[in-house]
Amino acid sequence: MTVPLDEETARSWLALAVEEARAGRDEGGIPIGAVLVGRDGAVLGRGHNRRVQDGDPSVHGETAAFRDAGRQRSYRGTTMVTTLSPCWYCSGLVRQFGISRLVVGEARTFSGGHDWLAEHGVEVVVLDDPGCAGMMAEFVAAHPDLWFEDIGEDDGAEVGA
């Protein structure tokens, strides 16, 4: 069981994910950050999307935080905190390893698998943070090519609102 999450704690964790997203942005990358938090509230790992920096499309914020945490005996009670609704790849990671809870900064720019995870027993908290949404909106407007590449849509179709 996870300890009940109050909004203040959720927002303090999100602030760490936002720091990661900003670091990625400042490196010229895609501004998505994530933190994996242990059942005791300690940060196990943190990271940001490094598609551009590493030339590696598999390094998303969530996978970077997950890998930074190293091997864990169990993911029960852990929380994945991410600035943006997780894509299917990262939603699959959460489900594969039994991560108990997901905190999402915003799901306006992109709505991935968070509803699907909630249907499968993951506790999902969407904070709808204006700072996260603003950072993504700015990025998508400035770098639409990078954005469509990252979400796997190469036809330039409009996504989200």
Among 19, 20, 27, 62, which one carries the catalytic annotation?
Answer: 62
Residue whose CB is less far from Zn ion, 84 or 133: 84
3-class DSSP state of 29: coil
Q: Is 62 a catalytic residue?
A: yes
Least Å from the CB of residue 18 to Zn ion: 17
Least Å from the CB of residue 89 to Zn ion: 5
Distance between CA atoms of 70 and 52, rounded to whole angstroms?
Answer: 23
Give yes or no for residue 87 binding Zn ion (CB under 5 A).
Answer: yes
Residue whose CB is less far from Zn ion, 7 or 88: 88
145: alpha, beta or left? (left if phi > 0; alpha if psi -120 to 50): alpha
Residue from 46, 50, 51, 60 touching Zn ion (CB under 5 A): that is 60
Residue from 65, 84, 90, 99 touching Zn ion (CB under 5 A): that is 90
Which residues, in sequence order, are CB contacts of 102 under 8 Å at separation 6+? 79, 80, 81, 82, 86, 94, 114, 117, 122, 123, 124, 125
Q: Are 104 and 84 spatial neighbours (Cβ–Cβ below 8 Å)?
A: yes
Residue whose CB is less far from Zn ion, 129 or 150: 150
Amino acid letter, 22? R
Report the interface residues with Zn ion, using CB under 5 A.
60, 87, 89-90
Known catalytic residues? 62
